[in-house]
Structure 1
Amino acid sequence: MKKALLALVLLTGGAATTASAQVEIGLKVSPSVSSLAATSPPAYNFDKDGSLASIGGGLVVDYFFGQNYAFSTGLQLTSKGGTFTYNEPAITGSPLLKQKVRLQYVEVPVTVKLFTNEVATDVKLYFQVGGVVSGLTGGRINGDKYFTDFNAETKRSRSHFLFADFGLLGGTGVEYQLGQSTKVFAGVSYHHGLLNVDRFFDNTRKYNDVSIKNREIALDLGLKF
């Protein structure tokens, strides 16, 4: 009898765990505005000079480990970049030089989504926090895949930047239940790059303390099923 009761308890617990664990998969599109936070000592005078508008998107996977709690990940394509200005100390009396940068990344979010109870019929709010791991797949400087420096050296534009990035992600939005297993969502998210993605000025030119980091604000629109 004891063995039968123990088996029943384990079976019931396993069923409850399976029932509470739910995976929702969907697609999203994310128009965004990004910029490059460029800083340096006064001699180089690095500074942000413009933003980049782009559109990305990809797969969304929400794994629920509670009624209102989910581990959220996926796979998405995104473009980041912007324009910055700087001085070239090797050129006496050099005016401010400018670079317009566009970087393409494949990204994997590693986040947690927290949902409220229904604030209206079939409507919930959500809050998302965590990180994003990004891999560089391409890059352009001033619209070109190759960049020629003032000293006539030509290199691939993407080689000027770190092959990967890691950032923090915070967002909020609203989710609406359309049917038994179909949901639509809309939200806004902020992506704060933590790594200095510059390789050219630091490694090649040997500029000291130059830092270029990604910043992005995105509108997240999607459908889960």
Structure 2
Amino acid sequence: MQFKKLAFLLLFLGFSSTAMAQMEIGIQFSPTIAGNRFIAEDRHGFEKNSNALRVGVGVIGDYFFSNNYAFSSGLMYRSKGSKVSYTYMVESGDGIVTPTKETDELTVQYLEIPLTLKLFTNEIAPDVVLYFQVGGALGTKVSGQVDQKKVINSEKTAKRFNVFETSAVLGTGAEMQLGQSTKLFGGVTYLRGLSNIDNYYKKQLNDKNLAIKNNGVSIDVGVKF
């Protein structure tokens, strides 16, 4: 009986050490050029006024199930959103309807879990490989701001921004081996929002088909060990 327990323990430790040998954990910093895109009728006049520089930072983990393929996940803090403008109709007391243009700066912070596949090439130079990344990400809202004012969870604003967001992820970059277990990496990632982030405009403009989604391109730099 004791022998079986010892054998099981040795097998478990061996499996754990093998799994850890296949896992690379790192820290990533991702400044992002963020914007928004719209699904809306032309009469609303939605347009992106400008992109915004947002921050992204977090911990990533690459689990290798072969020499050149890895499942990549982690936990990222990302800020998204930009300035948007739209047109709505205002009716005066004498019955005259006037189109009015409004501009909002949207800023929403998310905790995001990427779920992606990474393909690594063989060495293209001594200790340097390229990687290609594809997959998605699941985000949950941490906080939101409109015109740099926090949207608090009051009766009027609790449902301003949706709690969850889904995104498609597509990226490429390079890794450089610095030591036995240390690697530097840098790359570019395109983040395409798939879900509506803001319910306010549906009610403001009385259009249930209207949707605003995040877009962004991040410059990723970090270290793995």
Asked if TM exceeds 0.5, the reply is: yes
Counterpart CA distance in 2 for 1:36 and 1:224 is 31
Of 87-96 and 202-211, the range deviating more from structure 2: 202-211
Residue of structure 2 aligned with 1:106, choices 99, 107, 111: 111
Q: Is the 8 A contact 2:84 2:105 kept in 1?
A: yes
Counterpart CA distance in 1 for 2:19 and 2:62 is 15
Listed as ranges, the matches of 1:106-145 within 5 Å are 106-145=111-150
Listed as ranges, the matches of 1:1-225 within 5 Å are 18=18, 22-91=22-91, 92-146=97-151, 155-156=156-157, 159-203=159-203, 206-225=206-225
Letter in 1 for 2:215: R
Q: Is the 8 A contact 2:143 2:151 kept in 1?
A: no
Counterpart CA distance in 1 for 2:19 and 2:74 is 22
Q: Deviations over 1:67-120 (max 9, x none)?
A: 011000000101000111111124422331111100000000000100000000
After the TM superposition, list the runs of 4 or more consecutive aligned residues in structure 1 that deviate by more than 6 angstroms: none
Structure 2 residue ranges without an equivalent (≥5): 1-10, 92-96
Shift of the 114–146 alpha-carbon distance from structure 1 to 2, 3 Å rule, reads closer
Q: Is the 8 A contact 1:20 1:64 kept in 2?
A: no
Counterpart CA distance in 1 for 2:29 and 2:218 is 10
Shift of the 59–199 alpha-carbon distance from structure 1 to 2, 3 Å rule, reads same
Counterpart CA distance in 2 for 1:20 and 1:99 is 47
Q: Is the 8 A contact 1:44 1:89 kept in 2?
A: no
Counterpart CA distance in 1 for 2:78 and 2:141 is 10
When the two structures are aligned, how many residues end up with a matched partner?
A: 206
Measure how far apart 1:20 and its partner are. 10
TM-score when normalising by structure 1? 0.84
Q: Is the 8 A contact 2:144 2:150 kept in 1?
A: yes
2:130 is paired with a residue whose SS is: strand
Q: Is the 8 A contact 2:89 2:100 kept in 1?
A: no
Q: Deviations over 1:179-213 (max 9, x none)?
A: 00000000000000011112112256532421100
Q: Deviations over 1:22-52 (max 9, x none)?
A: 0000101001111010232122221221111
Letter in 2 for 1:127: F
Counterpart CA distance in 1 for 2:20 and 2:155 is 56
Counterpart CA distance in 1 for 2:216 and 2:19 is 37
TM-score when normalising by structure 2? 0.84
Percent of aligned pairs sharing the same letter: 39
Q: Deviations over 1:162-188 (max 9, x none)?
A: 111101000000000000000000000
Q: Is the 8 A contact 1:38 1:84 kept in 2?
A: no
Shift of the 214–19 alpha-carbon distance from structure 1 to 2, 3 Å rule, reads closer
Letter in 1 for 2:106: V
* Cα RMSD, aligned residues only: 2.3
